[in-house]
Amino acid sequence: MAKKATGQARYWLMKSEPNAYSIDDLAKEKKQTTFWDGVRNYQARNMLRDDIKVGDHVFFYHSNAKPMAIVGTAKVVKSGYADHTAFDKNEKHFDPKSDADNPTWYMVDIQLIQKYETPVTRDELKAEPKLEGMVLLQKGSRLSVQPVTAAEWKIIHKLAGVKP
């Protein structure tokens, strides 16, 4: 598990199915900011609650899509707080066991930094030997929020042909 914040910039990757929520949806939001709700996995929850801090940077990844790709970047503008969608039974990710006084699930707010003109596809990521260790590319990796190293952040921007 990730260490506590040390103050230096840190990097993450968040997955979304574009039919559910795409980077274009984020681009259309007021202030291009949204809350990242609906994470219902404890490992990811721990990162949202404990590790992801304001100013951290995030890759926006489209899963189950054509193409599967990193499509842009965002930054964290609000650190972990209760995911209120867990308390609303009309919400898809309603969790009757989550208690508003002691929330089970957390979310953060992110703001768009840039949408890549050319997404970096999963195939391109796989073709880059230096990215072998990426959590995203590990077999069976299903974490919807995952850490990214500074080196990976740099390499992927190079592949995208843009500055971080």
Partner DNA sequence: GCCAACGTTGGC
Contacts with DNA, residue ranges (CB under 7 A): 15, 17, 40-43, 63-65, 68, 122, 126, 136, 138-144
Nearer to DNA, 40 or 77 (CB): 40
Residues with Cβ within 8 Å of 94's Cβ and at least 6 positions away in sequence, in order, are: 85, 86, 87, 88
Q: How far is the CB of 93 from DNA (least distance, A)?
A: 8
Nearer to DNA, 41 or 114 (CB): 41
Q: How far is the CB of 8 from DNA (least distance, A)?
A: 27
102 burial (CB, 10 Å; 0-12 / 13-18 / 19+) is exposed
Nearer to DNA, 30 or 139 (CB): 139
Nearer to DNA, 9 or 137 (CB): 137
- Spatial contact of 57 and 153, defined as CB atoms under 8 Å apart: yes
Tokens of 13: 């990757």
Q: How far is the CB of 13 from DNA (least distance, A)?
A: 10
Q: How far is the CB of 76 from DNA (least distance, A)?
A: 19
Q: Which amino acid is at 115?
A: K
- Spatial contact of 76 and 53, defined as CB atoms under 8 Å apart: yes
